[in-house]
Structure formats: C-alpha cells, structure tokens
Copies of this chain bind each other. A is one copy, B any other.
Amino acid sequence: MKCIQYATQRELALSNTNTTAGHDATRQIRRRIVSGELAPGSRLGQSRLAQELGVSRIPVRDALLQLAGEGLVVLRPNASASVAPLSIGDLEELYELRDLLEPPLCELAVPRLTAADLAAMERELRRMDDSLDPVDWLEANNAFHAAIYERAPRPRMVELVDRIRQLTDRYSRIAHQFNEESARSEHLLMLEAARNAEPARLSALVRAHIASGYETMLTFLADAELEAPRAADGPR
C-alpha cells in the first residue's frame, strides 16, 4: 500500500500542478490585492471578478473564502466581499506577531541550513537588486526569508509567518523606496550569520530587521493615505 503524503496548503500553493480554476483565481486576486491594484476597501463583486477571470462565480467564491482565511479579504453574509482595510494599528499587530514568531524560527532553522539554502539566499538577494517594481522586490524578499525559515521543523509556524508577511507586504509596497536601501545591508549581515551558523546572532539580526522595518514604515505611513484612493468613493 503506497501512502500518499498529506499536502499542506502551502505546498499546494507553491506547486502549479493539479491546479484548479479556483486556485488560479485565488492566486490572481491575491496578487492584485498585494500589489495594490485592488485598493483596500474595494468591493469584490463575484460576478465582476468571474467575468474578468473568465470563469463562473463558483471558483471566485472559493477564492474569496480562501483569501478571507488569509486575512486579505473581508466577507459579510449576503453582501459583497471587500479588500481588507489597512490601519496603523493592524500594522503594529502584524509586526508584533512577526517579532514573536520569526526569531524562534531562525534559531531552529540555522543549524539545519544547507549549502543550497545559502545559495538560494544569495540568489534572492540578487533578485532584489535586479527587481524592477516593488512587487518583484517583495517577492524576492519573502523568498529570502523563507529560504531560512523553511528549514525549521515547524511547518505550521512557517506557513503562519508566510501569511503574516504577506499581509505586511501590502503596507511595505507603499513605503517601498524607504525600506529597500536599509534592508539591503541588513540582509547581507543576515546572510553572513547564516553562513557562519550563528543562530543567536541571526535571530538578533532578524529582530532588528523587523524593528527597523517597522520604524521606517511607520514614519512614512503616518501621513500616508491608508484608505482606498477614492476610486469609487470607497466601499463601506
């Protein structure tokens, strides 16, 4: 009897095999939200999305349910879904969560890092340098951190951190130009700590990385518009 391994949500999301229209819709809508193409508070009518994606409303419903679970979409019964709003308070909470979760993952992951992982980190650093738009940069940035964390034997925590980082990405994109430069040098230090197999040092660097990211973000977002750019007078 061959025993098929359970596929986690994360594994499914990464592999494009066996993809259904629902998963495809999820990915597309998620990207539009993280990229800001769909502004916070925008209405997400099922029919409109279905037409835009060339599918029926059912896969769109699946996608909206999934994204609601990820915290990117807000659902209300019998009413249109909308893109989850942004707020300074939410940003603070998200960074607090990252500060709690990412350092322990570092400590667990560093002793298990392989040469291939270090190479992946270097590759993502280059991708960040070569990135042309904020979304590319954020994707490489997440891949850099994921290359570390995924070695930690804590699948749930890794997936959770991944989701949380995805939520902070919506804020990061707005303050992108401020973050990128300071992040670069910090990333280099992190790579060095990973190479030297220093869990405590990497953990401390990550904490500082998170704190500095939060600070720059906060100073920049303090007077920025977090609500919808008044496309259709905002949703609700």
Contacts and interface: CB of A to CB of B under 8 A. Distances in A.
Given A6-B74, A89-B153, A97-B157, 7 more contacts: A3-B236, A6-B84, A12-B76, A66-B69, A93-B154, A94-B156, A160-B160
Contacts of A177: none
Contacts of A71: 156
Q: How many copies does the complex hold?
A: 2
23 contacts: A3-B236, A6-B74, A6-B85, A9-B75, A12-B75, A12-B76, A18-B77, A18-B78, A20-B78, A23-B77, A58-B58, A62-B65, A65-B65, A69-B70, A93-B154, A93-B155, A93-B156, A93-B157, A94-B156, A96-B104, A97-B156, A97-B160, A160-B160
A90 interface: yes
Interface in A128-171: 153-157, 160
